[in-house]
Structure 1
Amino acid sequence: MSDLAATASSAYAQALSVIESVEPRISGAIRSELDDQRASLKLIASENYASLATLLTMGNWLSDKYAEGTIGHRFYAGCQNIDTVESVAAEHARELFGSEYAYVQPHSGIDANLVAYWAILNTRIESPTLARLGAKNVNDLSHSDWEALRREFNSQRVMGMSLDAGGHLTHGFRHNISGKMFEQLSYGTDPETGLIDYDQLLATAREFKPLVIVAGYSAYPRRVNFARMREIADAVGATLFVDMAHFAGLVAGKVFTGEENPVPYADIVASTTHKSLRGPRGGFVLATKEYSDAVDKGCPMVLGGPLSHVMAAKAVAFAEARTPDFQAYAQKVADNAHALAEGLMKRGVKLVTDGTDNHLVLLDVTTSFGLTGRQAESALLDSGVVTNRNSIPRDPNGAWYTSGVRIGTPALTSRGFGADEFDRVAELMVDVLKQTTPVTASNGQPGKAKYSLADGVADRTKASAAELLDANPLYPGLEL
């Protein structure tokens, strides 16, 4: 056992002992979660394993401090140490991504996206309106002027990728706040290739005339040409907002460069820190100078007190991502996704876009196995393979049952899996899905949730998975 692993083991053992003295059910759940994660093939594209240093950074008294406001301008006294934490995290983020400005307070990806949307509205709508009316801030507006401004805010338009094409709830989905803030129109993908049709997107944008165009995805297995997205935004006078929550690690790790790196092309970029970036659960925003003042007002605009202990963990994760080791990891994530896709396709599985060139793979399980995404997800979970069901373009089963299963390589790559192991994972998945049968519903109609898994398949798959997992242990040397 290395000195670091021995130190971490001691730290966690002591921490759990303290927790157990107060509420043993919680310490038990923490121990069980580690056991469960060690014993399963985690293929959820949005999950990863943070480093022990990142995890330990969150368990301290930074959590006890209120720090609304921003660096040097807090609404509470005694925030000098929080200023240091936030400054270091923002510095690492700027240097890591080559951005003019970084804001590390958002608690989540949705919070980061909300900050971005409101910063755009404040910069593009509120500030010009205040100047026109001769007001310094909204408090100087008359009641009628304020009502007019509110109506103007709510009449703005946004274009984002549709859910079934691989977009996210926060890209204008009607049940999300983004779909209530804006008049929304989705863009999809080419029905034949499943790829973004930039010419069609431009034509739609010229007709719709959005204030904001959102680029980025949560289930699109290809890279995006952000130079082309910039051209489209400029052609219609839109702000280009990129949600890179899923692929931030591939940007940080220099896998996505040139026109595939959104930072030089976008006005605002929002992201999470816990997916391919391998940090704590949280969000951040990058922006050009034009939008930086508005982003900096995320608190009190849409955020409350920042989670100072999580900002500290973000600083540690950003520092880790600035190393050659992380760049090698990010490249392996992409290489492993290609190997996983090839392993599935050579065994007859239909993939959306017929492959991948990022970190995720989207299986069409209805075409390949006659299953819904929910049936496939459940059968795989029974067998120790953790995935999530996901819509595919023009999904016949809708957003709840779905026809797809989304998988990704960041987590198992963190454990040390390589191309050979991912080919074996593909083999195990196909074996499970081939031996899963839909169960007819009580009304005689084909069931969308119930399924039958052939005897012995789950145990056999778990045993095979255990061989792969034991050879690539999670947090090796950490014994609790």
Structure 2
Amino acid sequence: MSLLSTPAAPAASAAPDDVLRRQDPVVADLLAGERQRQASGLQLIAAENFTSPAVLAALGSPLANKYAEGYPGARHHGGCEYADLAERLAVERATTLFGADHANVQPHSGSAAVLAAYAALLRPGDTVLAMGLPAGGHLTHGSPANFSGRWFEFVPYGVDPETGLIDYEQLAALAARHRPKAIVCGSISYPRHPDYAAFRAVADETGAHLIADAAHPIGLVAGGAAPSPVPYADIVCATTHKVLRGPRGGMLLCRGELAERVDRAVFPFTQSGAQMHTIAAKAVAFGEAAGPAFTAYAHQVVTNARVLAEALTGEGLLLTTGGTDTHLLTADPAPLGADGPVARGRLAAAGIVLDTCALPHERRRGLRLGTAAVTTQGMGPTEMNRIAELFGAALRGEPGVRTAVAELAGRFPPYPAE
């Protein structure tokens, strides 16, 4: 049974909207194809999930028509009565859910949230300490192709070559040597919990701001399945999709004394009009995440990831750090005769969808996968073991895997009919 199938969230229609089909059958067919793609395979991309039908309804609401530049009570457009109510509700729910003094729910994406955090605390040319991209850092953590690498001087920290864990001694030494204006704690492919207290101590010792990029673990934090960065970081950047299971977008959490700086960094400095339909959908997601069903879901996500990690090890893959504390896993498929891109292609052909990622201290890429979406569909440890079997079979080139994947996925539709 899908975890989205709850009395409070009636199932979405299985067919594309009739109005869209009459108006634009080409787009309707595209959406129907995407619906079928999602339902007929295993969606293991760590950054993806299935939102509830209630979140989808808010995304398609009349607030999509509303221009609401500014903040509640101080808009640059008229007619914002309900837009203001929606944003205030989203902010109230976010601050309550995460125990934060202040929340800004306007960022259009996680990257936009990070940009705003930098704008609030830094000036061009400042030195920033962040996880290096080869170790799992994000593009916004200093990639030369990104605004971060062009505007700031990034110093990368990494992970221990033996354990794959963050090297906190190296972190402290680099901070003492370079005296960064900010330290960024966060990664797109680190499967363990960061030691936020250790990061805070290093920041305090060197006079740096601490920015937590919690785009991946924030949903686990909401469900009590991961430690919270909120008590330690000056600013927490996050996404509202991934494990949190809301609409695609970003948010910022901060202490009260930074609220004005954060808000001005979002608007008017980095963004203009807020996407009010998305903000309403964020409010829905925050409300869902505050309930006991989401708490159970978040813990099941972690349980499933640990079971899957052990089962994939049994299939011959090498798991970085030896396993996971979170929803995501990173694995080296080399023992099965493939690098990351080749393995991803073989798995995609079998209907198993995931990403590649950097392998620390290696010149080749591995695989990054997560259990958020399949857990939303209602899968548990039994299915995780079966997924690992199909994973190994696909990488070994065994026949019939695509059919077996479709059969498994078909038993757990993401949006079951009532």
C-alpha contact (below 8 Å) 1:161/1:186 kept by paired residues: yes
Aligned to 1:288: 255
Matched, 1:417 2:417: no
Residues in 1 aligned to 2:115 and 2:58: alpha-carbon distance in whole angstroms:
26
Residues in 1 aligned to 2:373 and 2:42: alpha-carbon distance in whole angstroms:
9
C-alpha contact (below 8 Å) 1:120/1:291 kept by paired residues: no
Instruction: Provide closer, same or farther for how the CA distance between residues 3 and 115 of structure 1 changes in structure 2, counting only shifts above 3 A.
Output: closer
- Which amino acid letter does the alignment assign opposite residue 392 of structure 1? L
Matched, 1:209 2:179: yes
1:178 to 131, 148, 155: 148
The 5-angstrom pairing of residues 40-79 of structure 1 reads 40-79=41-80
Residues in 2 aligned to 1:322 and 1:168: alpha-carbon distance in whole angstroms:
28
Residues in 2 aligned to 1:415 and 1:21: alpha-carbon distance in whole angstroms:
31
Residues in 2 aligned to 1:204 and 1:6: alpha-carbon distance in whole angstroms:
49
Deviation by residue 1:310-334 (Cα, 9 ceiling, x = unmatched): 0000000000000000000000000
The 5-angstrom pairing of residues 29-428 of structure 1 reads 29-121=30-122, 153-256=123-226, 260-297=227-264, 298-366=266-334, 368-397=335-364, 402=365, 404-428=366-390
- Which amino acid letter does the alignment assign opposite residue 294 of structure 1? R
- Which amino acid letter does the alignment assign opposite residue 354 of structure 1? G
Aligned to 1:465: 405
Q: How many angstroms does 1:5 deviate by?
A: 10
Residue aligned with 2:242, SS: coil
Q: How many angstroms does 1:466 deviate by?
A: 2.5
Deviation by residue 1:68-103 (Cα, 9 ceiling, x = unmatched): 111111111221211101000000000000000000
Residues in 1 aligned to 2:6 and 2:336: alpha-carbon distance in whole angstroms:
48
Q: How many angstroms does 1:7 deviate by?
A: 6.2
Deviates more, 1:1-10 or 1:388-397: 1-10
**Percent of pairs identical after alignment?**
45
Deviates more, 1:376-385 or 1:348-357: 348-357
Instruction: Provide closer, same or farther for how the CA distance between residues 407 and 7 of structure 1 changes in structure 2, counting only shifts above 3 A.
Output: closer
- Which amino acid letter does the alignment assign opposite residue 293 of structure 2? D
C-alpha contact (below 8 Å) 2:9/2:54 kept by paired residues: no
Q: How many angstroms does 1:431 deviate by?
A: 1.5
Q: How many angstroms does 1:9 deviate by?
A: 4.7
TM (normalized to structure 1)? 0.84
Q: How many angstroms does 1:8 deviate by?
A: 4.6
Deviation by residue 1:274-311 (Cα, 9 ceiling, x = unmatched): 10100001110001112110111111110110100000
C-alpha contact (below 8 Å) 2:11/2:416 kept by paired residues: no
Instruction: Provide closer, same or farther for how the CA distance between residues 272 and 5 of structure 1 changes in structure 2, counting only shifts above 3 A.
Output: closer
C-alpha contact (below 8 Å) 1:198/1:228 kept by paired residues: yes
TM (normalized to structure 2)? 0.96
Q: How many angstroms does 1:4 deviate by?
A: 6.2
- Which amino acid letter does the alignment assign opposite residue 354 of structure 2? T
Residue aligned with 2:330, SS: strand
- Which amino acid letter does the alignment assign opposite residue 467 of structure 1? E
Matched, 1:429 2:399: no
Residues in 2 aligned to 1:90 and 1:202: alpha-carbon distance in whole angstroms:
35
C-alpha contact (below 8 Å) 2:111/2:140 kept by paired residues: yes
Residues in 1 aligned to 2:54 and 2:9: alpha-carbon distance in whole angstroms:
13
Residues in 1 aligned to 2:228 and 2:9: alpha-carbon distance in whole angstroms:
39
Larger Cα-atom Rg: 1
The 5-angstrom pairing of residues 8-27 of structure 1 reads 8-9=11-12, 16-27=17-28
Residue aligned with 1:407, SS: strand
The gaps in structure 2 that reach 5 residues or longer are none
Q: How many angstroms does 1:473 deviate by?
A: 2.0
Residues in 2 aligned to 1:341 and 1:203: alpha-carbon distance in whole angstroms:
33
Deviation by residue 1:418-471 (Cα, 9 ceiling, x = unmatched): 111101101111111123xxxxxxxxxxxxxxxxxx6xx2xx112222332232
The 5-angstrom pairing of residues 437-448 of structure 1 reads none
Residues in 1 aligned to 2:101 and 2:8: alpha-carbon distance in whole angstroms:
37
Residue aligned with 1:184, SS: strand
- Which amino acid letter does the alignment assign opposite residue 298 of structure 2? A
Q: How many angstroms does 1:167 deviate by?
A: 1.3
- Which amino acid letter does the alignment assign opposite residue 171 of structure 2? L
Residues in 2 aligned to 1:476 and 1:5: alpha-carbon distance in whole angstroms:
14
Residues in 2 aligned to 1:20 and 1:219: alpha-carbon distance in whole angstroms:
39
Deviation by residue 1:333-387 (Cα, 9 ceiling, x = unmatched): 0000000000011222211111111111111123x22322111101100001001
Instruction: Provide closer, same or farther for how the CA distance between residues 385 and 154 of structure 1 changes in structure 2, counting only shifts above 3 A.
Output: same
Q: How many angstroms does 1:395 deviate by?
A: 2.7
The structure with higher relative contact order (CA 8 Å, sep 6+) is 2
Residues in 1 aligned to 2:211 and 2:111: alpha-carbon distance in whole angstroms:
14
Residue aligned with 1:190, SS: coil
Matched, 1:474 2:401: no
> Number of paired residues?
414
C-alpha contact (below 8 Å) 1:5/1:477 kept by paired residues: no
- Which amino acid letter does the alignment assign opposite residue 113 of structure 1? V
